[in-house]
Structure 1
Amino acid sequence: MAEIELQFMDAETFLDWATRQEARHELVGGLPKMMTGARIGHDRVVRRALARLTDRLAGGSYEPFTDDVAVRIPNGNVRRPDVTVACGEFDPNALALTAPVVVIEVLPPPTRSFDLVRKLAEYQSLPSLRHILLVDPDDRQALLHGRDADGAWTLETLSGPDATIDLAALGITLALSDLYE
């Protein structure tokens, strides 16, 4: 296997470079970082979230995307949330979103702490973002961060069979249990 020569990249260079790679990468601090594969439990939650959002948003102006579509962070990083929802007309050839409204991350054990701190802060720096949902794939609970009208972030812990995910910016509510069943 050939070694990858590490070089600092800006977001545009990285996105072009990433289209020629077999593995998926994020751009962190100017360097590409290979993403690992997901466990089955993680993938199930992602697929169910995407399916519920696709059904609930059908025919409207909001559209959910998989982690194949990147999100550009103001600090220059490029992230790949498990699910991203954005609004508007999209260039079918675009590789990244710059104005997502919702991001969903399923928290795998190896990167859980990183996702709860650093990625969360990066996502909160996106002016367009209204909701960040961090889902535990094993314990049937989630953290919903929401941006209020004044721009302040609120936090709601969701757990239990009757918990609901209020995505007010999208005008929809999902059942937390739908992500697991």
Structure 2
Amino acid sequence: MSVPSLERMTPDEFFVWQAEQDRNYELVNGLPVLTPKAMTGASLRHDDIVVNILTALHRQLRSTPCRPHTDDIAVRNPNQNVRRPDVVVDGRRGPDRSMEAMEPRLLVEVLSPSTMAFDRFKKVEEYKTHLAIRTVLLVASEHAEVILWQRQEDGWRSQIIENIDAVVDLPEIGCRLTLAEIYEDTGVENPPIRTA
């Protein structure tokens, strides 16, 4: 594995460089940065949640132009940062050798305690600037809770969905996810009751 260059890269240069690496990087402000998962790996629960979401989306998206992908497929944002959400639903298939989504419509970030603040604020704001992205799901890994961000005609709206019996409607891609299937076999339960 080569050490990342200290010279800034364009996204196109980054993808050429990334193709020769043995771990996934993001491009942040022109510099390649190891993703937290590439540095430490994902927990079993984190991975189970990702697999559950991919499985549910793949089943519902058969016979449509949309395809769900893992974080091996990157998203190029308008600020030229290249990010790797845990799941991306691409609305248009690119070349077979492509490492990036052509038309990312839905992004999923599974929140871990160490990256929660960054994913909830910095990354979401970056994703909102991408005109193809219609929905961002932030999925808690410690209890059953999803923050759903959806692009509306007048801007972005968020909604917190809690309770293992709840449903997340995703009309932008013609799908719906239940929290029960997102958290299936993970040991995750309803969030603690909040008191005022």
Same fold (TM over 0.5): yes
Q: Structure 1's 2 and 31: CA in aligned 2 closer, same or farther, altered over 3 A?
A: closer
Unpaired segments ≥5 residues, structure 2: 185-196
User: Is 1:34 aligned to residue 34 of structure 2?
Assistant: yes
* 1:156 corresponds to: 159
Cα distance, 1:69 vs structure 2: 0.7
User: What is the TM-score normalised by the length of structure 2?
Assistant: 0.87
Matched-pair identity in %: 36
Unpaired segments ≥5 residues, structure 1: none
Residues of 2 paired with 1:138 and 1:160: CA distance? 13
Determine which structure has the larger strand proportion and give its number: 1
Q: Structure 1's 159 and 12: CA in aligned 2 closer, same or farther, altered over 3 A?
A: same
Among 53, 61, 67, which residue is 1:63 paired with? 67
Q: Structure 1's 38 and 178: CA in aligned 2 closer, same or farther, altered over 3 A?
A: same
Residues of 2 paired with 1:105 and 1:28: CA distance? 17
Among 46, 51, 73, which residue is 1:47 paired with? 51
Q: State the SS of the aligned residue for 1:46.
A: helix
What does residue range 1-181 of structure 1 map to in structure 2 within 5 Å? 3-35=3-35, 36=37, 37-148=41-152, 150-181=153-184
User: What is the TM-score normalised by the length of structure 1?
Assistant: 0.94
Which 4+ residue blocks in structure 1 deviate beyond 6 angstroms? none
Alpha-carbon RMSD: 1.4
Aligned length, in residue pairs: 180
